[in-house]
Structure 1
Amino acid sequence: MVKVDLSDFYAKTETSETRAYEHALDIEFIVHREMQRSGLSKSELAKRMGVSLQSLSKLLNSQPNMTLKTIAKFELALGIKIIPQVISSYSNEAPFSSSNNSVREQWSSFNSDCSAKRLNFEMIPGGLAA
């Protein structure tokens, strides 16, 4: 199979809407991973966030207009802190500064060939690490 590099096309066609959608996917991935890690059901997460199960489902279906307050609710309900990380536009830098290879491997398989071409979100359990 021949791999095709779409980075030039991607750079030329990227919009604020497509980038917002990618951010929502990043957050959705982190939330699902943490729910799985902690054995938390959607019902329990909704309860902890103070929202209905229907509202939570809507949020987890890649809603690009997720507010900072909603992200904070996810953080508090899951006991995590999601940290925005700036990656130089279209560089080859790794998307994580964490040394946790498991997180890197999971992210790599989820985000496959995106090559860290946008703002990525990194999750640190229990808050900021020194």
Structure 2
Amino acid sequence: MLDSFLLGDTEFGIDRSKLKLSFLSDGGGRVEVNISISGDEGAFEHLTNDEDGPWSWALYPPVFHLAAFRISQELAVAALPITIPERAPDFEIALYMMEYCEIRDVVLQRVEEGLLIQGRVDVFGEEKPLRLQVANAFAG
């Protein structure tokens, strides 16, 4: 598995220096999941060099954000897909691409090679598939 931040058919790469992943026990049998994944600045600059390109309007790489999402201890260590519900008041989920974009149908999965997140995102009225892969996300 390679690192990948795929939005539609565009690969933004992942900036490992900004990567934040935590699966922390809350002491009550639940695990709080917090994830922040930023697109790579170098890949982004290459994509936005073309003034007529599809991303020429963007000033920053995209950022996926999941905060305060709670799951059971069993789910936290299993390699099972976890479906993340839309718009719950007790956690935050979004994709930031010049503004917060609505994201839905999100599935998170810890796999042997790392972390996989898939979903759909509305980028200024255009729905695009989202696929994030973080290699060796839980190593060491």
TM-score range, shorter chain: under 0.3
Q: Which has the higher strand share?
A: 2
Q: Which has the higher helix share?
A: 1
Q: TM-score, normalised by structure 1?
A: 0.23
